[in-house]
Amino acid sequence: MLTDFLNAAIVAGTPLLFAVLGEILVERSGKLNLGLEGMMLMGAVIGFQVGLHTSNSLLAICMAMTAGGCGGLIFALLTITLRANQVVSGLALTMFGMGFSSFVGKSLVGEALPETMKVFFKVRPVPVLADIPFIGPVFFQHDIMVYVGFISVIIVSLYLYHTRWGLFLRAVGENTAAADAAGINIVLYQYLHVIIGGVLSGLGGAYLSLVDVPAWQDNITTGRGWIAIALVIFCKWNPWMVFLGAYLFGGLDIIGFRLQKYDIPISQYLIDMLPYLVTIAILIISSVRKSRGSAGPAELGKPYFREEK
């Protein structure tokens, strides 16, 4: 029973994992993008639309990532080139994404994906590893996108801490003026990572509409984009911590459904609120604790214009 719960928690946490990884890259570049919810919805609706009409799983995923990347590009254009306020731009992107998904998805409500796509995303146990007691059923009996999530965490971690480009990215987020003086192309780094953040958010949204809930429903993300932003703080901008944060919140997301069969006298609405209550608690704790490790990149959210320095 415990292995089934942990297995389901990983599935529920996978959309968050992609979105959090993307936002970590964005914030490491010094930009604060609050538009995750909108970019996830854009990826979810485009991925579902393409999958429904083409039955091509890979094309659906690619188009969902492209849609999320376009959201990131809009944010980058507004905040880097046009020098718009980052908070306002992120909120505007969220509202745009919600409206976009409702408009495009209006004719998709109630539609289900073709059977060929469900087969593509079926559970694929990893040979040998899936037979390891306890660990195998929890970590190695999933659909292919969960494994992509595992690999993504490793790639982002190696990129940030073991490559020159990752070092430059962290330098941009910690001291933009010094990085600029050292010859790092600030605009290129920020544009690139904001777009990659959008791509990963679109992938997270696509996981919801293509794998987790293979039928379209309006507002399918149900606030996961906001939770992902708080999780970045919880994870202390460290990709390895995303494993813990995303899957913990995945467990909180499904715990209400799992407890129903035990007839526990606790309001279902209260249990469903758990992920959001924990999110608020994280924000409060992070505000109280001012240690360097939980402070985030020094230049986070601060606009940088070379000619003003």
pLDDT tens for 153-208 read: 999 999 999 999 999 999 999 999 999 999 999 999 999 999 999 999 999 999 99
Q: Is the pLDDT of residue 309 over 70?
A: no
Q: Is the pLDDT of residue 20 over 60?
A: yes
Q: What is the pLDDT of residue 308?
A: 63
By the 8 A CB rule, do 282 and 157 touch?
no
Q: Which residue has the higher pLDDT, 290 or 238?
A: 238
Average pLDDT, the chain: 90
- Mean pLDDT confidence for 236-261: 85
- Distance of alpha carbon 222 from alpha carbon 201, whole angstroms: 14
Q: Is the pLDDT of residue 17 over 90?
A: yes
Q: What is the pLDDT of residue 268?
A: 72
By the 8 A CB rule, do 151 and 21 touch?
no
Q: Is the pLDDT of residue 293 over 90?
A: no
- Distance of alpha carbon 118 from alpha carbon 114, whole angstroms: 7
Q: What is the pLDDT of residue 307?
A: 65
Strands 141-142 and 124-125: antiparallel
Distance of CA 156 to the CA centre of its chain: 13
Q: Is the pLDDT of residue 28 over 70?
A: yes
Vertex 126: Cα angle to 125 and 128 (nearest 5): 115
Residues whose CB falls within 8 Å of the CB of residue 251, separated by 6 or more in sequence, listed in order: 5, 6, 9, 12, 13
